[in-house]
A and B are shown apart, each in its own frame.
Chain A
Amino acid sequence: MSAASPLDPSHTPLRLARQAVGDLTQIALTLRREVVGMSFKARAPHLASALSCIDILTAAYWGVLRIDPQHPRDPARDRLVFSKGHAASALYAVLAHRGFFPVKELESFGRHGGRLAEQPIPFAVPGVEAATGSLGHGLSLGVGMALAGRIKKIDHRVVVVMGDGECNEGSVWEAAMFAPSAKLANLTVVVDYNKWQGTGRSQDILSLSPLREKWQSFGWHGVEVDGHDIAGLIDALWLQQDDQPVAIIAHTTKGRGVSFMEDDNNWHYRVPDERECQMAIQELEKA
């Protein structure tokens, strides 16, 4: 698989060639197989959360972000803050396949002494912007980075990917109020809206719905997309307003791509055994 983006990000919004979409779909499948294997090998939970956001990350890293894996700390780079740190396996798989570090290193996920901890360690892995995992931090970090871009007059964008369960945290809404008041047009948040959180339906635990309207009423430009439609995600991620941040509500399925995991919240914590791992990978190869 090619590490470079098959897309030409010079024109927006992107109208993807059928070929390019096909390539990205294949990349996303590879990444899904990767995270299933990582979860199995490391006995690490949160597999379903990782599968939920693979397409969002694929769209961002191959279709939108101006990044150079050879220069991961370039001050002018676009930044993606992966706020749902519990799904770090997805981010690691993406970064490795995008060329930030060797794909082979993914085998060390969760291993003692390695740098690919189950939730990111600060500045340990090229391309990982922050050590997330405690929820409700990423958006504020992203707001700070977006403001820094403005202050330093660097024309970079900041994309924050967060979970819907994470929207429980009050700090998210502090940041959600701040960003529009600062007119942060260089900031986009993507909510991976799979309707589940740790132990139950998001809507039953804390009332999230209507989620797009919530963000809009806070002053964001809100859009809703199918969070597994890579072309649609890329278009949404390219959206920028003159004086408003953008909130993308990405409707997703937790465990996406593995039929026996899809929308079954047991897989938030459950780790696949060898047979389940093989079944999952077979299914992801056939797709």
Chain B
Amino acid sequence: MVELAARDERVVLLMGDIGNRLFDEFKDQFPERFYNCGIAEANMVSMAAGMAMSGLRPYCYTIAPFITTRCLEQVRVDLCYHRQPVVLVGVGSGLCYAELGATHESCEDIAHMRVLPNMAVLCPADVAELRAMLPVTLSHDGAIYIRLGKKGEQSVHTDPLDFEIGKAYPLRQGRDVAIMVTGVIAPLAIEVANQLEHTGLTCEVVSCPSIKPMDHGTLDRLFSSFRLVATLEEHSLLGGMGGVVSEWLVDQSNRHHAKLLRFGTADHYLDTAGGQTEARTEYGLDSRTISDKIARAYPRAIPMTGAA
């Protein structure tokens, strides 16, 4: 963000009283372009819209459920309806803050954000994707939601990437199964792929940081080249990336015969204490459960083309 602000004087950083010391460098260098908006997300978002209407490029940062659901109507009216280039950055998405309970979990945010016209939804898998993504947000026409994990997650990219909104990035090659993954749960997809190799199935893993717009070219390729495509996300099965892919698939008039399996959180809140790993397991988002389900569902006997 410091680099971004140094490069472009329209960049303004608004945050909702979180991230102790995280923004010290930004504050020091650009005190007039940094505002702690307090625990008042509705005002923060509308204020950002007012700034964008005056030609600035605001970035609003707070915990994922609070920058999306808490102020959904402000996002809808002031950002989306007015088509303002404001970037919402939600940290601790999915089950990252599971130890704080469902108030701080965010497994509905993709669904909320992606139904809004003029809103792009981006979920970086790691620092490489985020770093590559940020400069691109500066030239995007419309609002953007960036869905982050916490910090210290495992990287999935070894090299810097050439980021484009609406593009997916293969992480690993394979012939039998394709796993589309979005966000910081990406290392789990790679783990699943490794486990499936023991059952004789090789997996391509594709990181999909751009949920909206989705990379339809990649969807086409995956559904024509694989017998089974799985989606994996730390988000509800309703309305997330699995939803995006299902909707797309229905619109293809049965052109594709690959089977789709969706992995995500079920339609209920957790009511036990525990951290992210335990919460993922409660929802069946662990490598053993996922690889078992994929291995069982893999249509070994069914031909790839023809009337399946």
Chain A residues proximal to chain B, CB less than 8 Å: 75, 81, 122-123, 129-131, 134, 136-137, 140-152, 170-171, 174-175, 177-178, 182
Contact = CB atoms under 8 A, between A and B. Distances in A.
User: Dominant SS at the B interface?
Assistant: helix
16 contacts: A134-B77, A137-B46, A140-B43, A141-B47, A141-B78, A143-B46, A144-B54, A145-B50, A145-B51, A146-B50, A147-B50, A147-B51, A151-B51, A171-B46, A171-B74, A175-B43
B40 interface: yes
Contacts of A146: 50
Given A147-B35, A151-B32, A140 B46 contact: yes
Given A148-B53, A182-B35, 15 more contacts: A81-B50, A130-B50, A131-B77, A131-B82, A140-B50, A140-B78, A141-B46, A141-B49, A144-B50, A144-B53, A145-B53, A151-B12, A151-B33, A152-B54, A178-B43
Interface string B22-65: 00000000001101011010110111111111111010000000
B301 to A, nearest CB: 56
Interface string B66-97: 00000001100110011100000000000000
Contacts of B46: 137, 140-141, 143-144, 171, 175
B50 A152 contact: no
B42 A178 contact: no
Contact of B56 (A81, A137, A141, A151): A151
A144 B51 contact: yes
Interface of B: 12, 32-33, 35, 37-38, 40, 42-43, 45-56, 58, 73-74, 77-78, 81-83
B42 A148 contact: no
A122 B53 CA distance: 11
A148 B54 contact: yes
Nearest to A158: B50
A144 B77 contact: no
B83 A174 contact: no
Nearest to A144: B50
Contacts of B38: 174, 177-178
Nearest to A171: B42
B43 A171 contact: yes
Contact of B82 (A130, A145, A148, A152): A130
B32 to A, nearest CB: 6
Nearest to A149: B54
A136 B46 CA distance: 10
A137 B77 contact: yes
B47 A144 contact: yes
B293 to A, nearest CB: 44
A137 B12 contact: no
B47 to A, nearest CB: 4
Contacts of B55: 75, 148, 152
Given A151-B12, A151-B33, A174 B54 contact: no
Contacts of A129: 53
B54 A178 contact: no
B183 to A, nearest CB: 29
